[in-house]
Amino acid sequence: MLATTVRLHMNEAPYPPAPAVLEAAGEALTELNRYADPAEMEGLRESLADYCQLSKDHIALSPGSDLLLREVIHTFSKGRKVITVTPSFLPTVQAAKHFAPEYLSIRLSPPTFELNLEFLMSALEGPCLLIIDNPNNPTGNTLLGPAAVEALLKHDDVLLVLDEAYYEFSGVTFAPMVASSPRLMIVRTLDKAFSLAGARVGYGIVGKGFGDLLSSFCTFLPRPSLYAAIAAIRQSDYMQENVSRVVKERMRLRQRLQGLGIRVYPSDTNFLLVRTEIPDSVLRLKDAGVLVHDASNQLPAGFVRVSVGTPEENNAFVEGLSQQMKV
């Protein structure tokens, strides 16, 4: 049993925020009895607008991207068919099932987990709210390219929401299209690449067609989260260094797992989807002090999603699987 539990189940960053970010959050703690000032919220919107190279009028803040997605579904599902993919980010699927009067989920099937665009296009009849995580969680693959997004936006009754939680790892974004595409919305988070999972800062890059959401979804972030987020964006070089470290380690981890004969799927994110024939591997890894995500709640048995951690954490995961294979 490991002395310290290895957390590879939540897609968190394995590295802490930059010292300046921790200092900023600590400074905010001295005023924890106060709500954040609206001017400070505007400061974060401006920082995110600069980061996204868009006007701040397109930026909506949220205490977590999952809550923003839930609010989008709650607000815009009325009178619309909601379409997602399966597997997908589970809170999105749960919210769609709860709020949508009509719901369609398009299955992504192994081994490629590709999205059937022909089927998707045929399903776009009448008003639709289409929500796709790009890259997908938990498969790790990018589902939509430029041609597909442009084709989807040609449907006048379609609102398209792309969850780009892993944009910094994939390098694929459609944020520049928002200014000229009123029915497009991008949802992102500072949880992953910016090492701020504990701060819970999400944001939307919103086309004008989603104006009702901007006017009704008023949110205030906790002051430490706000200060940390602004400082983290200013330390974007530090973020990029960590992203490079994770991508390099993702490649090494994949090679080690393949060396054990384990099926590993390509990934554009900070995690890997693997499939193993080892019975109860997730529970047995937990007993060994390594936490990974059992993806069989949306996929067949044997699928496991593992976040890319530090080299030491990843070695512990590989060693745990290796020991199970010897039993």
Return the pLDDT at 4.
67
- Span 149-170, pLDDT tens digits: 999 999 999 999 999 999 999 9
- Span 142-151, pLDDT tens digits: 999 999 999 9
Has residue 218 got a pLDDT over 70?
A: no
The tokens of 27 are what? 């400074």
Confidence of residue 252 (pLDDT cuts 50, 70, 90): very high
- Span 170-202, pLDDT tens digits: 999 999 999 999 999 999 999 999 999 999 999
CA atoms of 291 and 286, how far apart (whole Å):
5
Return the pLDDT at 1.
39
What are the residue ranges of CATH 3.40.640.10 in the chain? 19-234
What are the residue ranges of CATH 3.90.1150.10 in the chain? 6-15+237-326
Q: Which residues are CB-neighbours of 42 under 8 A, at least 6 positions away?
A: 56
- Span 19-40, pLDDT tens digits: 999 999 999 999 999 999 989 9
- What is the percent of the chain where pLDDT is above 70? 96
Hey, which residues does 132 pair with through a beta bridge? 162
The tokens of 91 are what? 């809170």
Q: Which CATH class is domain 19-234?
A: alpha beta
Report yes or no: 319 and 20 within 8 Å, Cβ to Cβ. Answer: no
Has residue 234 got a pLDDT over 60?
A: yes
Confidence of residue 219 (pLDDT cuts 50, 70, 90): confident
Second CATH level (architecture) for the domain 6-15+237-326: Alpha-Beta Complex (3.90)
Q: What is the mean pLDDT of residues 106-115?
A: 96
Q: What is the mean pLDDT of residues 108-130?
A: 96
Helix axes 236-259, 223-234, angle to 10 degrees: 80
Q: What is the DSSP string of 188-257?
A: EESSSTTS-TTT--EEEEE-GGGHHHHHH------HHHHHHHHHHHHTHHHHHHHHHHHHHHHHHHHHHH
Has residue 213 got a pLDDT over 80?
A: no
